[in-house]
Structure 1
Amino acid sequence: MQEVNPKETTRDYAFEMWMKAPMPMVTIIKTLDVTHLQNISRKRGLKFNMLMCWCIGRAASRIKEFYMLSVGDKLIKYDSIAVNTIVAKSRGEVSSCDIPFSDDFSLFNDNYINLTRRVAETCENHDITDSMVIGTSALAQYDIDGAVGMYSGIFNNPFFIWGRYRRLWFKTRLTVSFQFHHTQMDGAHAARFLDLLQKEITQAY
């Protein structure tokens, strides 16, 4: 990771326009067809949440805007991506766990299982500070239509929220909320990312 001069990037105008905006976050809500992931999860005994996180990482890794993020008053360029998941702790609360993204599905799955287990057992967060982290929060036990994340003014990372998936006839659908900082990307980049995410979900594993 390294600090870059915004004027030497394609985010120059966005950095100037949105860095000091009181609310620079944008949220897009989209319903995805996750039939394929749900089938893989059931037949192969894989965690649905892990599959979603891997597909998110796969889609994000193909869009260059995901490798830059405004941190404080600086624009930082990263060499790698991680996907964050929220882990239920033994005490009934939650901790945060960053999973390094890898195109190698087996490696990502192993990291997901081992790191989330460690976080659950130790009740300590696992943070990766040298990767651009995509946050996720799966409210899988609840039926929600959408969610808008808060803007803390500290973390500008992109963030996903989803609830319980829904079965309708032969399809399984999942509504996701994707929040991003306007300095990092524009609406067109985010929409393209969500289209890529749907393709990754359909073709996964």
Structure 2
Amino acid sequence: MSREVNPKDTKRAVAYELWMKAPNPMVTFFKTLDVTNLVQISKKKKMKFNMLLNYCIGKAAVNVEEFYILPVGNKLLQYDTIAVNTIVKNKNGEVSSCDILYTEDLDGYNQQYLKYTLQVAESCQDRDLSNDSMVIGTSAIIDTEIDGAVGMNSGIFNNPFIIWGRYKKKLFRYFLTISFQFHHTQMDGAHAGKFLANLQNEINRLK
């Protein structure tokens, strides 16, 4: 569920005044993650790598309170839950969007992921949870290795967004460079840094 909040009643009051009308309020961080644990779990448990990474993204975000507030239009909305979006190649060879509600239970999240990505691929209809959850966008460009990507500032889609390509192997470990774009009204660099540190920790801890 989402509800409008008065910016003055939140910790983002100053940021709201500074950044809501800025010509480019989006900030992008780049970080290289050690994803060796995810690659090993993916192979051992026959789970999709992108599903595992999306799960860790959700788990890292739920502990950063700034993720629950998002500027939408001229309003500031408060959310109770977080979802992670994934882009799905549909049966027509095009792409569709699929939001998956984050749940702490990995098996439950995996079941959701498999069910709804298949549903979206077959129906060619987007699955949109943005009215109920703060959605973290993701885009996996797995056909190539990339050093980074910067999303566009549309002025409409203000959600945090993560982009990655194919992971790289160095000796016996696997690394993945991601870009993390966020609206400065939603969070500051320190909050984004905390999230990225959380993300690496969740990747390392996943069993």
Give SS of 1:152's match.
coil
Which of the residues 169, 173, 177 maps onto 1:167? 169
**Which whole-Å deviations, capped at 9, do the CAs of 1:158-183 have from their partners, x for residues lacking one?**
00000000000011000000000000
Residue in 2 that maps onto 1:99:
100
For 1:106 and 1:40, the matched residues in 2 are separated by: 13
Residue in 2 that maps onto 1:71:
72
Is 2:75 aligned against 1:82? no
RMSD after superposition: 0.5
Count, aligned residues: 205
Structure 2 counterpart of 1:137, one-letter code: S
Residue in 1 that maps onto 2:55:
54
Give SS of 2:14's match.
helix
Is 2:178 aligned against 1:185? no
Give SS of 2:21's match.
coil
Is 2:129 aligned against 1:141? no
Give SS of 1:178's match.
strand
Unpaired segments of 5 or more residues in structure 2? none
Structure 2 counterpart of 1:185, one-letter code: M
For 2:103 and 2:70, the matched residues in 1 are separated by: 20
Give SS of 2:17's match.
helix
Q: List 4+ stretches of structure 1 deviating above 2 A.
A: none
For 1:204 and 1:98, the matched residues in 2 are separated by: 22
For 2:55 and 2:119, the matched residues in 1 are separated by: 19
For 1:80 and 1:91, the matched residues in 2 are separated by: 32
For 2:143 and 2:49, the matched residues in 1 are separated by: 13
Is 2:200 aligned against 1:198? yes
Q: 1:111-122 residue pairs with structure 2 within 5 A?
A: 111-122=112-123
Unpaired segments of 5 or more residues in structure 1? none
Residue in 2 that maps onto 1:44:
45
**Which whole-Å deviations, capped at 9, do the CAs of 1:30-60 have from their partners, x for residues lacking one?**
0000000000001110000000000000000
For 2:191 and 2:160, the matched residues in 1 are separated by: 12
Structure 1 counterpart of 2:121, one-letter code: A
Residue in 2 that maps onto 1:13:
14
TM-score of the aligned structures, taking structure 1 as reference length = 0.99
Please report how far the alpha carbon of residue 141 of structure 1 lies from its aligned counterpart in structure 2 after TM superposition.
1.5
Give SS of 1:174's match.
strand
